Chains A and B, each alone.
Chain A
Amino acid sequence: MFFEIKDLTVEVEGKTILRDINLSIDKDEVMVLFGPNGSGKTTLLRAIMGFAGYKVIQGEIIFEGERINNLTIDERARLGLGIIYQHPASIRGVKLHQIASFLTKDDSKIKDLSQRLSLSKHLDRDLNQGFSGGEMKRSELFQIILQDSKFLCLDEPESGVDIENISIMGKVLGEYITKLKKSALVITHTGYILDYINAQKGCVMIDGKLWCVGNPRHMFEKIKELGYEKCKDCLIRKST
């Protein structure tokens, strides 16, 4: 298995947030993570990346056969894990182009992609300082594509982005994932991003537990129709 989580329990500030999580994602496979606010979706992505304060109490995170629980964030990033943040940090004095040049030595790639994502003028600006919601997300997408990770953790890549920009972002992201056969774990609230990326699996997280795995589009339709409360005993779960 390309990416796997086994019996994972995670604590944040002494409180158990995730319990006994099991999931697996193949190479060239995209999984969508649904769930109400506060259910633990972002915690899962942050635990996968290894952020301080997200303490693994039990279980394993395995990437390309290697147990990565004890690796630092940058070691995980160098192995091939990448993240798009829901709320990215903004850093005074650090320019977007500095990070871009660190991620790739290919200047033409920086130029082309920044143009495609309407970020040419943002390259000389301080990272995320005064960026609009949409600009931040485009900057996140820009960086993760330059980073060229093998496994992408995408935390609401479309939140705060207007319809027009969702289409620009969605196309760039969808094309990147499909053409380069990337694997991803995607959190989405609105579901808009599903129109652009070919997700094979979906799962629902409620109260720090994974409830079911199934067809993401089907699941999303049901969630829209019935809400998360009904998920606990929904048809999809019985059928899988």
Chain B
Amino acid sequence: MKSVKTASSGKVLNTNLKKNDVEIISSSGMDFSQDKRSGSFLQSDNKIEFMNTLYDGLDIIDMETALKKIPEAKKYYARAFKELKRDFPKGTKGGYFIRVKKGTVLKLPIQACLFLKQKAFKQKVHNLIIIEEGAKVYLITGCSASKSAFHAHHLGISEFFVKKGAYLNFTMIHSWKEDTFVKPMSIAIVEEDATFISNYISLKPVKEVQMYPTAVLKGKSARASFNSLILSHPGSVQDIGSRVIFKAKNTQAEVISRAISLGGKVIARGHLKSEVPQVKAHLECRGLILSEKGTIHAIPEMESDYRDVNMSHEAAIGKINKEEIEYLCSRGFTRNQAQSIIVRGFMDVDVLGLPQELKQGIEDLENKTLQSSF
């Protein structure tokens, strides 16, 4: 286990961004003190604000530089898309290259943020994340937009390589604006005995999000888990799915999504595709519609050419169960208190499998958003 701090440890991050913007970025998970982080990356529109690593064994570099200087960056770039014979948009600018070297276990999360600042800016980034053999890491990325970023776009391409026996817990928090267009495209290649966990949290309004991240379980006994917590505001359209492709035996996956519509439209997709026997997978989608105007459309899909698979799904959509409200009322909660505690419980961050400090941050964020939404 290698996790030695370098001389730059404890360094507070400096940026020329305005106070308002720093607050927005902080509220989507960026800790500028870096007290409880292993390293940081911040890109605002096309500009790299900072990149910083506090540990040996961890590289954090902007994509252009990485492609010039680091052979692995070139080697792995576009490889995930080739694996699935898929095309991807070119002409990106920036994005991060993160590599955690073989055997490195980082207890503190790495943080990254892609920020939109200018009016109508079209940010287009390509990220590459390589977790080498036996390494273990938490990565939290916050994506947010400045108040001035009217009608801005974000296109984020991400490729993840989780090598043999490695562990990646990737948490993405979207805190956009009611007029932002967002299209992330990501593929994770998960090798033997490796684990890829992808958490997605979206609590703020957004114009339109379309994403269908895919994990490819390529090595035997690989595991993937996708967890999404989505709060959909009036005017938002969120088409959000998770796909797992099983290419090796003894692999496992779980896809869980929880969506609450306050008037927005959520399409919750899920797709499990087994190309081999002996896989185990479960898909779960729960939706709460709290406004007459809200829409939730759950589309779970499962495919297999083999009998020897164990795949299941459950989906449930509706309003809050009357019995649950009455139960809490009989304990003395008012109707509003009961509704709020049930909604809060529905968006339980315990499903995410996060370390305590990240969990607390996300819980606080949720409490704040939910309190102001009801």
Contacts and interface: CB of A to CB of B under 8 A. Distances in A.
Contacts of B331: 77, 82, 99, 102-103, 143, 147
B58 to A, nearest CB: 33
Contact of B327 (A72, A78, A88, A147): A88
A46 to B, nearest CB: 9
Interface stretch (A60-68, A89-97, A219-227): A89-97
B323 A89 contact: yes
Interface residues of A, number: 26
Interface string B323-356: 1101111111111001001101111101000000
B332 A77 contact: yes
Contacts of B323: 89
Given A74-B335, A92-B348, A93-B347, A98 B327 contact: no
Most B CB contacts (10 A, CB to CB) among A85, A93, A143 go to A93
Nearest to A124: B350
A26 interface: no
A176 interface: no
A73 B346 contact: no
Interface in A113-156: 126, 143, 147
B332 A126 contact: no
A52 B342 contact: no
Interface string B67-100: 0000000000000000000000000000000000
Contacts of B330: 49, 73-74, 76-77, 82-83
B322 interface: yes
Contact of A94 (B322, B326, B341): B341
Contact of A52 (B326, B328, B332, B347): B326
A120 B369 CA distance: 31
B321 interface: yes
A93 B341 CA distance: 9
B308 to A, nearest CB: 28
Contact of A93 (B326, B333, B334, B346): B346
Contacts of B334: 74
B231 to A, nearest CB: 14
Contact of B346 (A83, A89, A92, A99): A92
A88 B348 CA distance: 21
A103 B335 CA distance: 16
Given A93-B345, A93-B348, A94-B342, A102 B327 contact: no
B329 A74 contact: yes
Contact of B345 (A51, A85, A126): A126
B342 A77 contact: no
A85 B327 CA distance: 9
A147 B329 CA distance: 12
Interface in B298-322: 321-322
A73 B329 contact: yes
Contacts of A77: 329-332
Contacts of A49: 330
Which 9 pairs, one residue from A and one from B, show the smallest C-beta to C-beta distance? A93-B345, A93-B348, A94-B345, A73-B329, A89-B327, A74-B329, A77-B332, A89-B323, A91-B324
29 contacts: A52-B326, A72-B329, A73-B330, A74-B332, A74-B334, A74-B335, A74-B338, A77-B329, A77-B332, A82-B330, A88-B327, A89-B323, A89-B327, A91-B324, A91-B327, A91-B328, A92-B346, A92-B348, A93-B344, A93-B345, A93-B347, A93-B350, A94-B342, A94-B344, A99-B328, A99-B331, A102-B333, A103-B332, A126-B348
